Amino acid sequence: MSIARAQKLNPTIVQDQFSKLDTVLRELKLKHSPQFIYNLDEKGCRLTLHHAHKILAEKGEGRIHLLANEYGENVTVVACVYALGQAVPPMIIFKGLRKKDTYSDNFPPGSTVQISAKGSMTRELFIVGLQHFAKFKPAGRVLLVIDGTSCHLDISIVEEAEKLDVSLYCLPSNTTHELQPLDRAVFRSFEHYWDNELLNYWEATNVPCLTSKEG
């Protein structure tokens, strides 16, 4: 854990966060209405493995390497769920200048595909994401919990959210690794399944290979 995260994740800040969240839920009269409480977060996905994997090799082999690109092209998955455990169709952000028809292949129904120069979220795309989210939210005011990434913090975003009947609640900085519901309940296991699918893809397309090197 970084020093900044360790300093921010202390009882005073955590208790204050839950106190403020409780106040917001009471003001919006959503305390007992989980179908109106949402959490949105982004997950960067690269064509690289998140974790080292165990492999089988002959006894005495020195070091075994998986040959693959060190840096994979970035794709961002924008996930949104509500407190009853259901999900809104995701928004996928690809790196590029022009959208390709194939980008939408095999995605869940209702998903939307966008592009950006780096394949990551921008202020303009976050507004697009809010508009996408609004198509699936119930009628009436909802609460959307987000983190404090700079592209989320702009007056134009607040104004658009108000038009869509969405109240935004920003989590304290450097605490989302423990306080962000999607980080805790979804994205950690997502990395495991992502790695498995990536290995299956590499095997099917003969992209990498295993090689041994004497230690």
- Digit-coded pLDDT (tens) for 81-119: 999 989 999 999 998 888 888 888 888 899 999 999 988
State which residues form the domain around 115: 16-48+63-213
The structural domain count of the chain equals: 1
Whether residue 6 lies inside any domain: the answer is no
Whether residue 23 lies inside any domain: the answer is yes
Look at residue 129 and tell me whether its pLDDT is greater than 60: yes
Whether residue 8 lies inside any domain: the answer is no
Cα–Cα distances in Å, from 167 out to 28, 134, 181, 197? Answer: 9, 12, 17, 36
Can you tell me the mean pLDDT for 149-167?
Answer: 92
Task: Give percent of the chain above pLDDT 70.
Answer: 83
CATH code at position 94: 3.30.420
Whether residue 138 lies inside any domain: the answer is yes
Cβ burial, residue 164 (10 Å; 0-12/13-18/19+)? middle
**For the chain, counts of helices (H) and of strands (E):** 7, 8
Whether residue 7 lies inside any domain: the answer is no
Whether residue 5 lies inside any domain: the answer is no
Whether residue 173 lies inside any domain: the answer is yes
Q: How many CA atoms lie within 13 A of 69 on its CB side?
A: 10
Whether residue 54 lies inside any domain: the answer is no
**Residue that wins the pLDDT comparison between 11 and 202:** 11
Residues 134 and 160 sit within 8 Å (Cβ to Cβ): no
- pTM value? 0.78
Band of pLDDT at residue 215, cut at 50, 70 and 90: very low
How many C-beta atoms lie closer than 10 Å to residue 95's C-beta?
14
Can you tell me the mean pLDDT for 145-153?
Answer: 86
